[in-house]
Each structure stands twice: as C-alpha cells, then as structure tokens.
A and B are shown apart, each in its own frame.
Chain A
Amino acid sequence: MKAKNQRLMLVLVALGALTGAALLAMSALRDQASYFYTPGDALRDHVELGRAVRLGGMVEKGSLRREADGVTIDFRVTDGAASVASRYTGIVPDLFREGSGVVAEGRFTAPGQFAADTILAKHDEKYMPPEVAGAMHETKSLKR
C-alpha cells in the first residue's frame, strides 16, 4: 500500500465498518424492536402471532384468577374499551393488582390471547406507565 494513502485507507475502512454496524443495527431493530399496543390497537391491528410486543393497560376489575399451581395467573388487560386475556407465570411485581396499570412483555399466542414473559414493575403508587397514561388519556380523556 502507498504509505501516502494510509490515512485515507483508515478512514475508508472505518466508514465501511461503521456503515456495516449501522446496517446490522437497523436490520436487528426491524426484527427485534417490540411495539407497544393497547388492547384496542392490538385487536384492531391483528398483531402478528408470536412477535415480541408490549401490551399495556389496566388490570380489569374482577378478571384476576390464579391457577392451581399457585404461580400462574390469568387476567384481562383493558384500555377501557377493549380487553385482552393474558396469562403470566412467575412472581408478579409489587403492587400488581386489579385496577392498577400494567405493561406486559410477551406475545400473542392466538388472537385476543396474550402470553406475558415479563410484567413490568411499577415503582411506586404515584407511577403510571407513561404508555398507559397516554392510552388512557386517549380512550377516557383522563387527566394525567
């Protein structure tokens, strides 16, 4: 290599590497980014089954049931208009209860059937997941 061109070569290699990384990142983003849905959105948009998504809303009053194994729960996530049946196995985070806000990460196993891998922790009484607050705002015109 002509020594004179070394800096140029380095710059080109660097640009190539960074472009490659950016392309890798963008393609991974397309596959892996998980979108946030309210129950209404999810039912209307027919979310692809098995795709990682977040479902947010309130735990519908009177919908929380515990399976016999003691660690699996069934509940419905509602946005005030539509609701989705959800199932989660694990220790639910603090302050997860009927009527409280929830964001569940997981996937739809059938239309209207959601399997949660993770239930996002609510950190204190005052906190409402921002997505939920936004969604509730739209459906019920609740003041944040």
Chain B
Amino acid sequence: MIAETGLAALWIAAAFALLQTLMGFAALGGEGRPLIRAVRPVAVVQALMTATAFAALLLVFWHTDLSVKLVADDSATTLPTIYRIAGAWGNHEGSMLLWVTILALAGAAVALFERRLPERTLAATIGTQGLIALGFFAFLLFSSNPFARLDVPAAEGNGFNPLLQDPGLAFHPPTLYVGYVGLSVAFSFAVGALLTRDIGATFAKAMRPWVLGAWIFLTVGITAGSYWAYYELGWGGWWFWDPTENASLMPWLAATALLHSVTVLATRDGLRAWTVMLAVVAFSMSMVGTFLVRSGILTSVHAFALDPKRGAFILVLLALYIGGALALFAARVATVAEGNRFDPVSREGALVVNNLLLSAILGVVLIGTLYPLGVEAMTGEKLSVGAPYFNTAAGPLALLLVAVMAAGPVMRWRRDELAVVGRRIMVPTAIAVLALVAALLFAPGLHVLLLLGLTLAAGTAAASVAPLWKRNLRRTPLFTWGMVVAHLGVAVSLAGMASESAFTRETLVAARPGETVHVGPYAVRFAAIDPAAGQNFTAVRATLIATRGNADPLTLQPEQRTFDNPPQQTSESAIATRLDGQLYTVVGEQVPGGRWQLRLWWKPFVTLIWAGGALIALGGLLSLLGRILPRRGVKVEQHGYTRAY
C-alpha cells in the first residue's frame, strides 16, 4: 500500500506541476492577477505531494519491503537502520526522486517567501520551476519508477554497496542535491525575467539570496564529499578529478561566478545580460552533472548506447531546457538595455576578471570531463583524462584567480587608481614575499605551482582581511564579514592543498607485529593485529601506536573489512588529527613471513583544505544573513550615537 500511495502522490504531483506551468505562463498574458495569486498555492501543493512520495520511499526502505524491486535490489534486512533508510537515495531511482523532491520544495519556497520580485516575473518564475519539475516527473514515472513491485517478493535483498555504508551517505547526497537543485531557482528567475524583460537591480537583489543559499549547500556538499572520499577510499587523496566530482565542481564554479556578477547587478546595475546568462549556465551545469552521473554514460559510452532509455531521456530533457533557455536568451538579449558602465580598473572590473577566470576554469573542467566521452563516441578509442590534465590546465588559472581575489575587495566601485590599489595591498604583498622567501629557504626545490600556491595563500589570507582595516568592526555589515570570511577560507584551503602536495610523507612497508615504522615525525609501532566484527562484516584490525617526541602516544586502528552481502572487502583507514596535520594509516593484506602491509602518511596541515571549505560556506551564510535580516548597521549606529551623546 505504501508504495502505491507513493506512486499515486507522484502522479498527482506531476499533474500539479503541469497546472503550475500553465498558470505561471498564462499569467504573463495581461489579465493575470488572480492567476498570479493562485499559482503560489499550486506550487506548494505540488511540493507536498512530492514530499509525500519521498516519505513513502523512505518508509518502504525503512520496513525493507522486499516486494518493491528497488528495495530488493539495493537493501537488505541485515543492514543497520541508518543505511536501511539512507539506502533510499543510494541508488538511481531513489536519488532521482530526492532530486525532484528538492526541486519541488525549492519551487514552493519561492512561492511562499519571495516578495521582492515583480509579480508577473514571479509567476513566470514559478511556472518555469513547474516546467522543470514536469520533465523530471516524466523521467521518474516513465523510465525510473522507484515504486515498481516484484511479481514475487524477494526472500532477501541484494544488499547495499559497502563503500556507501558510511554516515557520510546520510548527509552528503542530500546536501549536494540541495545545492544542485537550488540553482534551478536562479535558472527560473532568469527565464522569468527574460520573459517579462524585467532585468535590473531589483531582480538581482531578489535572486541573490537564492543563489547564496544554493551555493552554501554546494560548498558544504563538495567539502564534505572531498573529506568523505579522503577517509573512506583509503587512498590518501582528497580530490581525484573523477567525473562525478567534476559534476559537482562545475555547478559550483558557475554559481560562484554568478554570485559575484549578481552583486555587480544588484549594487551597480551592470552586467545584466551576463548575469542572466550565468544563471542559466549554473543550473545547466547541475543538469549536465545529473546527466553524467545518472545516465550511466561514464561507465561506458557503449553501455549507454546499449541501454539508452534513461540516458536518452535525460539528454532530451537537458537539450530542451538548456536549449530553450539559451534560445530565449538569444531572442531577448538585444532588448536588454545596457547597464551602468565602469572603468576597467574598478571593483566591477575585478569582478569581471573573476567571472572570466571562473568561466575559463569551468570550460577547462567541462572539456576535460566530456572529451573522453566525445572521443569514444566518435572514434571508439578509449582514453582517460586525469589529474595531470586538470592540474596543468586549471591550476594556473585558479592561482591567477586567487591573486585577483586578493586585490578585488579593496578596489572602489566605478573607478579606481592602480597605484592606490597597490598601496592598499602593500602589507599583504610584503607578507606574500616573506612567505616566498621562507618557502625557498626551508623547502627548496618545490614545484613552481606549489611555491606560488603557498605564497599566494599567505598573501591572500592577509589581503582578505584588508577590507576590515580601520573599520568599526561592530558597524561593518554582515555581508562584508561574509566576503572577508569566505575569501579567507579560500586562502586557508589553498594553503592546505599546497602544503599537502608539497610536504606529505609516505611509508609503505610489510611489517611484523612488534616492529616500528617511521613516517614523517612519527615512530609508529605495529602493536597487534586482531580479528573484529560488525553487524554485517568481519574484519582484521591493526593496532598502531604512534609517538612523536614526548607527546602522548596515539593509538590508531585501521581495518580491512570483509562484507558478505554483497561480498566485498573495504579498507577502513584510521586517521589521527593533530594541530599541524594528520597521520593517516591503512592496513593491507597479509604477506608471507607473518607480515602485514601497512601504508602510512603524514600530511602536514591537510585539514586546512576542509577548514577552508567550511570557512567559505560560513562566509556565504554570513552574507546570506546580512542580506535577508533587517539592516543591523543602522540600528547600531543610532544606538552608538545615543550613547555618545
């Protein structure tokens, strides 16, 4: 019954999405006031029905209803409760339903809370949101029904991929999806504004909080995903330039560019067409990412060609939505009046450079991700594009971007003098030079990109707090704090990346229990190896005692786990976090001579990578609060004035 209820809710939601689309666009045609008022509740009901369907899916997974095909394929009664529930979105159909649920909730949030957008634009926006939802409802109902029943219920489920059995799964995909799909709001805003030809500062101010919100979730999702891959895969790496990672990075790059250009539009009414274009591109990247991950095209172009239904379906949706939006953009761009002008040397100028560099990096990542697919589709030749390409092509651009980021925030709007800007970042420049000298002295022979990375990280960290210089910190608006914290986060993260690449020490040995191994500053004693067991796996667990100088010894217990359903081994790394880095340990298999393989890394300041990511997200949050809370600065000023008086 629950599964049927879910399916019915999905159909009803699709019907409401259709209604929402029709009403939203009909409202454009003049006499639209009652329609405009009615479209809001329709969007809310659509979201409620979608959420009902998703709740039904969670329930069948929680009960492990083995007559539902999806549950039988991807779950089992023996799983711990959290994975029985989270397993609902650990598979194709379930994750698409989650995607659509978030889409519908985002649409409902716009319908409920958006007050700044002109009414006709808002109606068109909600209509567009319905139109996107409609396509993905069709996708679910016609080619990925999560509620399909088996004729004969399975006796036991096929189990759930052990690599995904990690608390990370419960939070990572939903967070990332809120970011991905949250960008649909920016897309719908752009389409709505193109339809009503109402693009200006008001539009930008209305759109900004939505973009910020989605961007915060994307940032958190990518940061958490990177850490998850780092400790779960046991390879010691934190970013693999895997196509699925790129699929999340590309929307983030576009959203970051959008975030900066929408500020120009809101503050100075400039970059109108460009901002609208970016809003379209950002969600398009989300859809491309969904296509890449969900169509099966990554595993093989051939597999895709053999079983094309799902992939082709998403591809058609993609072509319709992106193509449609771009066509609308092309048709309307000539009628978008030019915004305010500015000098090349100005805050706007710096933000344009920011946007160009972010777009260029996006292009580099997109080309690198799609190139192997294109080559295979055309010539049948298989190739892979990995870290060497992305680091060579995107690395220099990213460093340049960070350098611009250091100077941009201290520049004035409209026009500025280069010499004056140079004086304002004199102290950060000096700090960067000092860092360069220190790096050359203490770590000679570093790769030039790493050297630049360390130098820029130091300089940019100093420059990012420069906008606070000589300001009354209590009167500084929250969104300025947000910018400062986010930019500081970029510098912190860059420092972590450069330090990890430059200074990591690795030891790979086969050792007997009782032996001591050295890695970086640590002496690691291989104390014991014991059997261990969990609810659905058995394991061998190594006990390692790591000592450094006179500090208290650390105990680490990496494991090699063997799951039985499905049969698979995974290695659980054990990581000790210190202020100045992480000791990362993995145990391998037993080899002749009573020895066990041990792989140990000392990674100085690696945690800064994710701490920086967290700062970036926090900066976004402060900005968002600064934009949606009533202005606090004014009150403080009055308060201060009263007291001084």
Question: Is B521 in the interface zone, CB < 8 Å from A?
Answer: no
Select the stretch in B125-133, B202-210, B311-319, B588-596 that faces chain A.
B588-596
Tell me, yes or no, whether A33 is within 8 Å of chain B by CB. yes
Beta-carbon contact of B360 and A32 below 8 Å: no
Q: Which B residues lie within 8 Å of A25 (CB)?
A: 363-364, 367-368, 393
Task: Digitize B563-598: 1 where CB-to-A-CB distance is under 8 Å, 0 elsewhere.
Answer: 000111111000000000000001011011101010
Known: A29-B368, A34-B386, A71-B597. A89 touches B568 (CB 8 A): no
A70 with B510, Cβ < 8 A, contacts A32-B388, A33-B372 known? yes
Cβ of B475 < 8 Å from any Cβ of A?
Answer: no
Contact residue among B338, B371, B509, B570 (Cβ-Cβ distance under 8 Å from A33): B371
B392 interface residue (CB < 8 Å to A): yes
The residue of chain B having its C-beta at the shortest distance from the C-beta of A127 within the complex is B299
* B504 close to chain A: CB less than 8 A: no
**Pair B385/A52 contact, Cβ less than 8 Å:** no
* Per-position 1/0 for B612-632, Cβ under 8 A of A: 000000000000000000000
Give Cα A52–Cα B385 distance, bound, in whole angstroms. 10
B78 at the interface (CB under 8 A from A): no
Q: Are B163 and A17 in contact (CB under 8 A)?
A: no
Shortest B169–chain A CB gap in Å is 15
Instruction: Report which of A7, A18, A130 forms a contact with B360, defined as CB distance below 8 A.
Output: A18
How many residues on B have C-beta within 8 angstroms of the other chain's C-beta atoms? 53
Q: Mark B383-394, 1 if CB is under 8 A from A, else 0.
A: 111101100110
Q: What residues of chain A lie closer than 8 Å to B548, measured between beta carbons?
A: none
Chain A 66-109 interface 0/1 with B at a Cβ cutoff of 8 Å (1 = within): 10011100000000000000000111101100000000010000
Cβ of A29 to closest chain B Cβ, rounded Å: 6
Shortest CB-to-CB span from B349 to chain A, Å, is 10
- The docked-state distance in angstroms from the alpha carbon of A3 to that of B592 is 77
- Find chain B residues with CB under 8 A from A124 CB: 161, 566-568
A26 at interface by CB-CB < 8 Å: yes
Known: A20-B360, A66-B591. A35 touches B382 (CB 8 A): yes
Q: B5 at interface (Cβ–Cβ under 8 A)?
A: no
- Given the known inter-chain contacts A25-B364, A36-B383, A66-B591, please indicate yes or no for A91 contacting B586, CB distance below 8 A: yes
Closest A residue to B360 using CB positions = A21
Q: Which residues of A contact B359 (CB under 8 A)?
A: 14, 17-18, 21
Residues of A within 8 A of B586 (CB): 91
Say yes or no for A10: interface residue by CB 8 A criterion. Answer: yes
Decide yes or no whether B437 CB sits under 8 A from chain A.
no
Q: Is the CB of B383 within 8 A of A34?
A: yes
B300 touches A134 (CB 8 A): yes
Cα–Cα, bound, A95→B163 (Å): 14
Please, how many angstroms separate the alpha-carbon atoms of A7 and B342 in the complex?
10
Give chain B residues whose Cβ lies under 8 Å from the Cβ of A126: 566
Q: A1: which B residues are within 8 A, CB to CB?
A: 344
A28 within 8 Å of B (CB atoms): yes
Interface string of A98-125 (1 = CB under 8 A from B): 0000000100000000000000010111
B363 in contact with A21 (CB, 8 Å):
yes
Interchain CB contact under 8 A, B363 and A91: no
State whether the Cβ of A49 lies closer than 8 Å to any Cβ in chain B: no
Per the 8 Å Cβ criterion, residues 2-61 of A in contact with B are: 3, 6-7, 10, 13-14, 17-18, 20-22, 24-26, 28-29, 31-36, 52, 54
Tell me the total A-B contact number using a CB cutoff of 8 A. 136
Q: Which B residues, 357 to 407, have Cβ-Cβ distances below 8 Å to chain A?
A: 357, 359-361, 363-364, 367-368, 371-372, 381-386, 388-389, 392-393, 397
A33 touches B384 (CB 8 A): yes
B302 interfacial by beta-carbon distance below 8 Å: yes
Chain A's closest residue to B352 (CB) is A10
Q: Are A123 and B161 in contact (CB under 8 A)?
A: yes
A119 to chain B, nearest CB (A): 11
Q: Chain A residue with minimal CB distance to B561? A: A94
Docked pose: A92 CA to B590 CA in angstroms: 12
CB distance from A23 to the nearest CB of B (A): 10
Please encode chain B, from 588 to 612, with 1 for each CB lying within 8 Å of some chain A CB and 0 for all others: 1101110101010000000000000
State in angstroms the CA–CA spacing of A35 and B356 once bound together: 31
Do the beta carbons of B510 and A6 come within 8 Å of each other?
no
B530: min CB distance to chain A, Å: 19
Neighbouring B residues of A133 by C-beta, 8 Å: 300
What is the chain B residue whose CB lies nearest that of A9?
Answer: B344
Q: Does B63 contact A (CB under 8 A)?
A: no
Q: Does B303 contact A (CB under 8 A)?
A: yes
Residues of B within 8 A of A14 (CB): 356, 359
B341 at the interface (CB under 8 A from A): yes
Which residue of B338, B382, B589 is within 8 Å of A131 (Cβ)? Answer: B382
Please measure, in the bound complex, the distance between the C-alpha atom of A35 and the C-alpha atom of B588, giving whole angstroms.
Answer: 29
Partner of A35, one of B233, B303, B383, B571: B383
CB < 8 Å neighbour of A52 from B381, B388, B566: B388
Is the CB–CB distance between B360 and A34 below 8 Å?
A: no
Q: Is B597 within 8 A of A29, CB to CB? A: no
Closest chain-B Cβ to A60's Cβ sits at a distance in Å of 20
CA gap between A10 and B510 in the complex, in Å: 60
Rounded to whole angstroms, the CA-CA distance of A129 and B248 in the bound complex is 23
Assess the A91–B591 pair: CB atoms within 8 A.
no
Contacting residues, chain A, for B382 (C-beta < 8 A): 35-36, 54, 131, 134
User: Within 8 Å of chain A (Cβ to Cβ): is B427?
Assistant: no
Contact between A26 and B567 (Cβ–Cβ < 8 Å)?
Answer: no
Chain A residues within an 8 Å CB radius of B342: 6
Within 8 A of A (CB), among B319-360: 338, 341-342, 344, 352, 356-357, 359-360
Residues of B within 8 A of A131 (CB): 300, 382
Bound CA–CA A70/B163 (angstroms): 26
B386 and A130: CB pair below 8 A? Answer: no
- B254-311 interface (Cβ within 8 A of A): 274, 299-300, 302-303
From A3, A18, A71, A130, contact of B299 by CB (8 A): A130
B112 contacts partner chain A, Cβ-Cβ < 8 Å:
no
| CB < 8 Å neighbour of B510 from A71, A123, A125 | A71
CA distance A52 to B387 in the complex (A): 11
Least CB distance, A4 to chain B, in whole angstroms = 9
* Chain A residues within 8 Å of B274, by CB: 10
Q: Provide the bound-state CA to CA distance between A21 and B368, in Å.
A: 12
Is residue B508 within 8 Å, beta carbon to beta carbon, of the partner chain?
A: yes
The listed residue (B344, B384, B570) touching A36 by CB distance below 8 A is B384
Contacts of B233 in A (CB 8 A): 121
Residues of B within 8 A of A18 (CB): 356, 359-360, 363
Given contacts A66-B591, A90-B599, contact A21 B397 (CB under 8 A): yes
Report, nearest first, the 7 A-B pairs whose CB atoms are least far apart. Answer: A70-B510, A21-B360, A130-B300, A91-B588, A94-B569, A36-B382, A32-B389
15 A-B Cβ contacts within 8 A? A17-B356, A21-B363, A32-B386, A33-B384, A34-B384, A36-B382, A69-B510, A70-B510, A70-B597, A92-B589, A94-B569, A94-B571, A124-B566, A130-B300, A134-B302
Identify 13 new A-B residue pairs, CB closer than 8 A, beyond the known A36-B381, A121-B233: A10-B352, A17-B357, A21-B359, A25-B363, A28-B393, A29-B385, A32-B386, A33-B372, A34-B385, A91-B588, A94-B571, A95-B569, A124-B566
